[in-house]
């Protein structure tokens, strides 16, 4: 099989693989996974100016189908973030449908990483990444903000304060995150006013 035939056959198989609802990377040990690794190696060689079968035209084709290049973690995160910026500018929010290839999975992953961080577990989310996502009014918890506020109001009426322990499930994590948002000045003004009205910022 010639190089062009190998590339085109792999491209066809990858498009078919994604169309069947599979994830971005093929399982290790499969012919498709080997083809994907070959494209990654070709791009790396091209960037280094070494001899390679990868061409700018092939890269454009692969970029067009959102091929998941094996960039460094920072490169991959920033590339996805820029896609989210484009989505936000077009839609006014960051609620990317899970059915949206790659970006939908990435957005869901950021929410999982924030949950891990809120629980004190190791997370890939840095303060810088959180701040960049907050600039896009990223909804970390898809539960309605007002619904959580009502739960907190009920808690405050019962306990006389808003200091919900993080160990107390989703409400505790939500409260923790609101304090982080306030400290970084990424909270909406009307949300600050609502929280002030129930003594959220008063010391216990």
- Convert the pLDDT of each residue in 129-184 to its tens digit: 888 988 888 877 766 788 788 889 988 998 899 998 877 666 887 888 888 888 87
3-class DSSP assignment, residue 163: coil
Contacts of 112 (CB under 8 A, 6+ apart): none
Quick one: pLDDT at residue 204?
A: 55
What percent of the chain is predicted at pLDDT more than 90? 37
Quick one: pLDDT at residue 50?
A: 92
Q: How far apart are the first and last CA of the chain?
A: 72
Contacts of 181 (CB under 8 A, 6+ apart): 134, 187
Q: Among 11-15, 23-27, 46-50, which is the least confidently predicted range?
A: 23-27
Give me 143's structure tokens.
């539960």
| The model scores a pTM over 0.85 | no
Nearest in space to 109 (alpha carbons), one of 122, 127, 94, 124: 124
Q: How confident is the model over 98-114, as a mean pLDDT?
A: 83
Backbone torsions φ then ψ of 99, nearest 5 degrees: -75, -10
Q: How confident is the model over 51-80, as a mean pLDDT?
A: 87
Give me 95's structure tokens.
């609620």
User: Across the chain, what does the average pLDDT equal?
Assistant: 86
CA 83 to each of CA 79, 97, 135, 136, 138: distance values in angstroms, whole numbers, following the listed order:
7, 14, 14, 12, 14
Quick one: pLDDT at residue 100?
A: 76
Nearest in space to 142 (alpha carbons), one of 107, 116, 166: 107
Contacts 24+ apart (CB under 8 A), 135-141: 135/186, 136/84, 136/85, 136/88, 136/94, 137/88, 137/93, 137/94, 137/188, 138/94, 138/110, 139/93, 139/94, 139/95, 140/110, 140/111, 140/114, 140/177, 141/111, 141/170, 141/173, 141/174, 141/177
| pLDDT score of 29 more than 80 | yes
| pLDDT score of 195 more than 90 | yes
Q: Where are the domains of the chain?
A: 3-64, 73-134, 145-197
Instruction: Report H helices in the chain.
Output: 3-19, 31-47, 56-64, 73-91, 103-118, 127-134, 145-159, 169-183, 189-197
**What torsion, rounded to 10 degrees, do the Cα atoms 95, 155, 183, 129 define?**
-30
Give me 173's structure tokens.
């994590």
Q: How confident is the model over 54-72, as a mean pLDDT?
A: 88
């Amino acid at each position: 099989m010639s190089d062009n035939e190998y590339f085109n056959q792999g491209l066809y198989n990858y498009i078919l693989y994604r169309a069947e609802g599979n994830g971005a990377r093929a399982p290790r040990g499969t012919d498709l996974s080997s083809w994907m690794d070959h494209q990654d190696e070709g791009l790396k060689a091209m960037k280094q100016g070494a001899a390679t079968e990868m061409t700018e035209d092939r890269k454009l084709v692969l970029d067009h189908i959102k091929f998941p290049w094996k960039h460094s973690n920072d490169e991959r995160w920033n590339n996805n973030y820029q896609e989210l910026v484009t989505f936000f500018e077009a839609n006014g929010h960051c609620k990317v449908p899970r059915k949206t290839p790659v970006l939908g999975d990435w957005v869901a992953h950021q929410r999982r990483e924030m949950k891990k961080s809120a629980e004190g577990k190791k997370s890939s989310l840095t303060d810088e990444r959180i701040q960049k996502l907050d600039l896009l009014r990223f909804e970390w918890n898809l539960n309605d903000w007002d619904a959580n506020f009502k739960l907190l109001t009920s808690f405050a009426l019962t306990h006389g304060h808003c200091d919900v322990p993080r160990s107390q499930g989703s409400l505790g994590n939500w409260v923790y995150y609101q304090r982080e948002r306030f400290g970084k000045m990424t909270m909406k003004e009307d949300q600050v006013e609502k929280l002030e009205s129930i003594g959220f910022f008063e010391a216990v």
